[in-house]
Amino acid sequence: MRAPLIFLVTAMILVSLPGCATEFERRLDEAERMRVMAADAGAEWLRTEELIKQAKTEAARGDMESANSLLELAQFESETAIKQAQHEADAWSSRVVR
């Protein structure tokens, strides 16, 4: 009986240590990294940064389901913006009158 309790306490301590990122923090970092990549490509969508801010707010309120949904949407927007920028970089020449 003591072993599960010790394991639980140890796990709680490890999660609370600095540098031990939660799943949400990892997803947040990834969404922000993708947003920056889209911005660097000149293709960041208008609401992506706001979605990430809203996700942080929802997480602070404790609504992790909503926060994760917002991060998922922000990451989708960034990935799509990057693909859009890559497509435009390849396709622009076909629209030039010769």
Tell me which of 34 and 97 has the higher pLDDT. 34
Q: What is the pLDDT of residue 14?
A: 46
Mean pLDDT of 88-96: 82
Is the pLDDT reported for residue 66 higher than 60? yes
Mean pLDDT of 61-80: 96
- CA atoms of 70 and 15, how far apart (whole Å): 23
0.85 exceeded by pTM: no
